[in-house]
Structure 1
Amino acid sequence: MTMTAPRGSQKGHETAPAPAATTSGLTELREMFTRNLRTSGIYIALVAIVALFALLTNGASLSPGNITNIVLQYSYILILAIGMVIVIIAGHIDLSVGSVVALTGAISAVVVISYGMPWWVGVAAALATGVAIGAWQGFWVAYIGIPAFIVTLAGMLLFRGLTLVVLDNVSLSPFPSEYGMIASGFLNGLLGGYGYDVFTLLIFALAVIGYAVSQYRARQSRLRYNQTVPPFGLFIAKIVVVGLAVMAFAWQLATARGMPIVLILLAVLIMAYSIIMQRSVFGRQIYAIGGNLSAAALSGVKVKAVNFWIFVNMGLLSAVAGIVFSSRTNGAQPGAGNMFELDAIAAAFIGGAAVSGGVGRVVGAVAGGLIMAVMSNGMQLMGIDQSVQSVVKGLVLLLAVAFDIYNKRRVGSN
């Protein structure tokens, strides 16, 4: 009898906590979905906006030709968004990127069209110009201490004026066909007689496999350190959903003209800068500077050097965008790149970057840029006036920043 009572009491003790365990599991699941609302919400918003415009345009926005056009028409904004989100994470802003796009495109046009040099010499000249511009602005921001807002505002005026001087206030065109391939070329060598490009499907299938493997390895790494991970079923569901979405996108490209060369360039940039920002010392130093400048300096971060290279990088990516844009338009115009800086800034903030710095991701900025691209393209297909499009974009940007501020206050109150 002495053993029965403990057994009975033990049994009662085992069954009693069940509701508490269930409540704890539900709470943990709820926290899992809300913990990364800033980063996951942008992808949900992107899917919702794509679905909305697919309905409003009777599926025209999801046609193979239109999806290809979105990639070609907005690739340079996404390239700028990659650099801009890094600048914003560090607590700065760059208002000059549109003018830098115009100037680097103009330099490339003069070298290739006016002087008759090979197309790659024009590309090299544009890249060198972008790096020099970034070093110029980085010097004033990092070593002289002038706020980036003022330096880049001056740069916006300065480089726009230099563009007019370089082009003598006239447009230059056309580029050689090789130069045009940068933004308008396709890789579709395995198209054959299937009616779709096997090469494009193969590349995207490999990308999905790589994504699945990387996610599984990240999950196993978290488990080894006893960190919280989603249930395995939810993990598999996420991989399947992402894979289906990516392959649906690949199918649309494959049934149009194949893999755009500029999409390969964009993918390489996204992967490279995601690794830099998430896994390198330089990336962690950028987050540290934007999160708490004084603490970063006290911890040994060379703040001036990091800020300098941030702007050098922004100048380089602006030059890449300038090359892509001039290739897309098959020439250089004095008014090229007008308002590009606002599109890039909007993409970064819509993608989850914080106004005060220290927060943001490269992939999020690209998603924010895609939201702007899908909205612009969808409204154009619907025949909506340009003025109304600007109103909608402004409201979306305002709501994105308001959401960021709301999140900060909610976290602070907790």
Structure 2
Amino acid sequence: MELEKKLSKVSKRIKSSLIRELLDLKDPEMISFGGGVPDPDTFPRHEIAKIASEVIENEHRVTLQYGSTGGDNILKEQYIKLLKKHENIDNLDVDNLLITVGSQQALYLLGITFLDEESYCGVSRPIYLGAASAFQQRDPKFINVPLLEDGMDLDYLEKELEKLNKEGNIEKFKFLYVISNFHNPAGVTMGIEKRKKVVELANKYDFIIVEDDPYGALRFEGEKLPSIYSMAPERTILLNTFSKVLSPGLRLGLVVGPKDMVKRISMAKQAADLCTPALTQRIGARYLERFDLIEGIQPTIEIYREKKNLMMKLVEEKLGDIKGIKWINPEGGLFTWITLPEGFDTLEMFEIAKEEKILYIPGTAFYVDEPDNNTMRLSFCLPTKEKIKEGMDRLRKTIDRYAKEKGLEI
């Protein structure tokens, strides 16, 4: 059988994730600055184990059974309390929330719900790989908005929106996808004035704002900023996840938004998986009943802060003499973004990196248009401090070897 002839157009557009492939590399000598994998020592495993045992024994009629597509109302109610306490988001009820299998499913469902081949959507350049893969399956037209040190270039976006408006296509612009805090992959945070400007543009051109905020609770320094959702709840969909602050193994994501939008997304979820696992939802719900999730991750934040500060110090020491190099020092989250001088191709250089036993994510993975080949993402959350030190030495060796092979002056 010729499989290619049997595949759908959607299937043919799907590409393997470079990050997933990197996670499959099992060489024990390899140091990885690759995937944004939380440090397992930060998981509250003893508390989760106790709760899991209890909800299986005492609530098996719910936890071992099918659940509703919308999700466990006890978990929703607890998360509503968390949003009110820590995010100043109020006036929600359970119909404003949908529980998904991680935030990646939420991104996929957004694509199913809002995008088709005639649609436009706005995304950052570079873009989070998971969002790119989810949206690309719908084959929309992307408006790739350059990312600056304080978030998207909204002047560029406004010009593109006005162009669509003059062409009579503005109704086809469905949403703007924004990672407001500690962008993946770039590490930048959108400033308060730009958040207000996003709302202004959304009102003017009548589009949905998709605010993805998986890292917002992981702030190491600087002032906490109000969410875009809190500024415009009537036209914003807020995505969140338990993966970075509790455990990725629970596979719990959340969609918060206007009831009519949440209902439509929930309808798409019915066809995808019927429901999110009842067991992990109830574990999450009982955990939130007993513990303040945000207060509980303060030790985790301290661990990541120390690792981030160490990595940034070493970037300065080990790479700072390279002419034309740039990097982002994030205020939180899990990543930094490095731009090497022109002439570097970090995907091509990756073969040397594997020989030197150091992994990073080549920047080409984070574009839906022509990529900037001289970029890379480094994650500091998983490796130990000792491995961060050794890994930065290996990264410099990798860069030096590549430059020598290509005749590049650094």
TM-score by length of 1: 0.25
User: Higher strand fraction: Structure 1 or Structure 2?
Assistant: 2
Mark the structure with the bigger radius of gyration.
Answer: 1
TM-score by length of 2: 0.26
Greater RCO structure (CA 8 Å; 6+ sep): 1
